[in-house]
Amino acid sequence: MEGGIDIAYVREHSGTLSRLIEHQRIRMTPVPGGDICVAQRLTLDDGSDLFAKTLDKAPAGLFEAEAAGLRWLAAADAVPVPEVIGYADDLLVLEWIAPGAPTADGMAEFGRRLARLHAAGADGFGAPWPGFVGSLPVSNEPAPDWPAFYAERRVRPTLRLAVDHGRISPSDAAAVDQLLDRLDTVAGPAEPPARVHGDLWSGNVHCGHDGVAYLIDPAAHGGHRETDLAMLALFGLPHLETVLSAYAQERPLADGWRERVALHQVHPLVVHAALFGGGYGARAGENARRYL
């Protein structure tokens, strides 16, 4: 092919990337981060690098939704995200961000930028693209307020899936269901919809070689800002208290937000129960009982 394969070519022909990779027209190097998808570093003919994730038999709209979410987060000009180069049904190609280690200063800046991202807001609770957490479909259909969105678009459908697969006990499922029935009384002060990442566990905060933190793998939507903060705490984030302190200085949180962390963690725990089983269902039930 004349001129070889460069980023401009990839942008114009993203739909052919799977074939180009299959026929080894692009050099591939496996990289960490492929728990659900296969993650690869692509080296083009001009020596530049891109990041690609692929998934055989990907759910329809998976990578299109992720691309839309990344672009929506980027439009806030707050926390940086990798540029979307292109996508196909089974493939997403992004700017390559050379990895580095988190630093206290870098994570403090991340906290301030995350507050600005949330403040950019959304048109409502939900999003105009299909919803996914990982590869699990979730509803982004708008809801009138956050309790309705959290209960009816997020937790209840996923809870039914976990129950159907036998991955949460009847008593734990009942506790979660009872919590949802009284969500209005424990959700805290009403807030306008925030522009949230939506799946912000520590693995989705990618620190570049220069210490700058990027957001990756979003389940972006208009939601509650405390959801992102609770997710950061679920599996641990380096310098978490530094992030939270910097966030609060930029945009103070509502009174009692720490007491609501377990509430916002119920959905990701139910998601993990539905996908993996194990002890996640019991943890979801334990969190729910704190509010009953």
The residues carrying an active-site annotation are 199
Strand partners, 223: 194
Report how far residue 110's alpha carbon sits from residue 229's, in angstroms, rounded to the nearest whole number: 12
**Tokens 């299109």 — which residue?**
64
Dihedral sign, Cα of residue 205, residue 208, residue 211, residue 213: negative
**Tokens 């998601």 — which residue?**
271
Report how far residue 258's alpha carbon sits from residue 247's, in angstroms, rounded to the nearest whole number: 14
HSE of 219, CA atoms in CB hemisphere, 13 A: 23
Query: Among 26, 77, 73, 76, which Cα is nearest to 51's?
Result: 26
Please work out, in degrees rounded to the nearest 5, the angle formed at the alpha carbon of residue 83 by the alpha carbons of 81 and 85: 150
Total residue count of the chain as it appears in this document: 292
In this structure, are strands 136-138 and 194-196 parallel, antiparallel, or unpaired?
Answer: unpaired
**Tokens 């672009």 — which residue?**
71
Report how far residue 72's alpha carbon sits from residue 69's, in angstroms, rounded to the nearest whole number: 5
